[in-house]
Amino acid sequence: MLRKANLSVSFAIKSYTSNEEAVMHILFIAPSFPKYQPQFVRALASVGAKVTGIGEGPVDSLTDELKHWLDDYEQVSSVCNEQEMVDTVRRIQQRGWVDRLEATIEAHVMAAVRVREECGIPGLTTKQAWLCRDKSTMKEFAREHGIPCAQSIAASSVEEVVNFGKKVGYPIILKPRDGAGASATWRVDKERDLEHAMHDTGVIHGHSIAVEEFIEGHEGFYDTMIAGGNISHEFISHYYPNVLEAMRTRWISPVIIHTNRMDAPGYQEVKDLGRHMIRKMELDTAPTHMEWFFGEKGLKFSEIGARPPGVGHWDIYCAANDIDLYQEWASAVVHGSCPGTLSRNYSAAIINLRPTQDGHIQRYEGFDRIQEKYGEWIFKCHLPPPGSPTQPVGEGYMANAWIQIKFPDYDGLREILEDIGQTLKVIAT
């Protein structure tokens, strides 16, 4: 039975009886958005946890399905408002024991850590979270532990940026110290081109940013699920093209593809690099997402997060490996282990299909041909209806139309993706 309050709303928590004392109680931040977030709640409920959601939307905005999986819900004005979150969590603790507080979105990680520490809840530490959020500190830590990465500094003045460019040579990269993906990230090819980037990043006004050597090469990522300090599952994916180019170029239909050739000799170095970083960070039970580059200067660590990858990429892993990765994560959190086995039966990918221009979607061309040729391998597809407003290219891989697809052979899937990108057009006016 639902009950409402003004700012903090909840529905009645199920009572804890003596027989239920061993059931783990998990607080989960932002259970309803983005749209794949409810899968984490579903998975926690499926492995026997009691789940309290803490989110910014009113209780009436939750779907009936999500309400079914949740035992309780609290509304806050912002899940990043640390004091409000502390007050909310303490109020929940007064009603019953809390075992864990989980956040799966990068922007929520630091707030969640500070709330845990204030409220005495175990989990990711401040040091671990800061290493995952602050790009400059992260690379300093990597270098200290023999992990190859781009030269970098934290800069808060024009002079520091200019001197770094002169030292390492151009191009250089300017980006927020706590940024995600390619958001507010600049590649600067010459010193005379610095001004716009320094205004946009705020360094010209004294804002501290990360400045890095530009590494030429192919970009990919290494993801894991860690349970009790052990890597239970690991995955490797590739960007085509690299993220910065993909988020700046309209005519490209960018792809993220997960390989099922994990035992190929060329991947051993990537796995060794990722495992070494995870050991040095002393991560216990968490998903990880580690970006890397490979080019003329060899394999280089880029950054790591103690959270799942974005754009619903776990759905790719689930389809490729015949597994419920959300449930594997939930089992790690609640029971300390991941019982499933990855099949490696498929490679799988998402392809983003850009509108021909900003405006409104008018029609699609070529979808029937794609459906006829590859329909059996398409497992998710999002085509906004005609009349829908377009989203800017830089908004990411799920901003407009997209297709998720799997295929038994990695090279074969790459050929299919190229055909889809050339055939399926999103016409906008």
CA 190: distance to chain centroid? Answer: 31
**Residue 247 contacts residue 181 (beta carbons within 8 Å):** yes
Q: Provide the token pair at 272.
A: 């060794």
Domains delineated in the chain: 2-123 (3.40.50.20), 151-213 (3.30.1490.20), 218-428 (3.30.470.20)
DSSP 67-84: HHH-SEEEE-S-TT-HHH
Residue 133 binned pLDDT confidence (cut-offs 50, 70, 90): confident
DSSP 171-232: -EEEEETT--TTTT-EEE-SGGGHHHHHHHHSGGGT--EEEEEPPPSEEEEEEEEEETTEEE
The rounded distance, in Å, linking the Cα atoms of 159 and 264 is 45
Residue 9 pLDDT:
37
Contacts of 226 (CB under 8 A, 6+ apart): 232, 278, 283, 284, 285, 286, 287, 288, 332
Place of tokens 């597809």: 381
Strand order in the sheet with 218-227: 298-305, 286-295, 218-227, 230-240, 255-258, 347-353, 401-407, 378-382
pLDDT in tens, 68-98: 999 999 999 999 999 999 999 999 999 999 9
Residue 239 pLDDT:
98
The rounded distance, in Å, linking the Cα atoms of 140 and 130 is 12
pLDDT in tens, 318-329: 999 999 999 999
pLDDT at 4 over 60: no
pLDDT at 233 over 80: yes
Residue 181 pLDDT:
54
pLDDT at 1 over 90: no
**Residue 312 contacts residue 36 (beta carbons within 8 Å):** yes
CA 107: distance to chain centroid? Answer: 10
pLDDT at 182 over 80: no
Buried b / exposed e over 183-220, threshold 16 CB at 10 Å, is: ebbbbbeeeeebeebbeebebbeeebbbbbbbbebebb
pLDDT at 256 over 70: yes
pLDDT in tens, 211-227: 999 988 999 999 999 99
The rounded distance, in Å, linking the Cα atoms of 23 and 5 is 27
Residue 79 pLDDT:
98
CA atoms within 13 A on the CB side of 116: 22
Nearest CA to 358 among 410, 312, 400, 305? 400
pLDDT at 56 over 60: yes
Residue 10 binned pLDDT confidence (cut-offs 50, 70, 90): very low
Summarize the confidence of residues 392-420 as an average pLDDT. 96
Q: Is 6 left (phi over 0), alpha (psi -120 to 50) or beta?
A: alpha
Residue 22 binned pLDDT confidence (cut-offs 50, 70, 90): low
pLDDT at 356 over 90: yes
What is the overall mean pLDDT for the chain?
A: 92
Contacts of 149 (CB under 8 A, 6+ apart): 139, 142, 143, 300, 301, 302
pLDDT at 15 over 80: no
Coil, helix or strand at residue 162 = helix
Residue 3 pLDDT:
30
Residue 179 pLDDT:
63
The rounded distance, in Å, linking the Cα atoms of 122 and 422 is 49
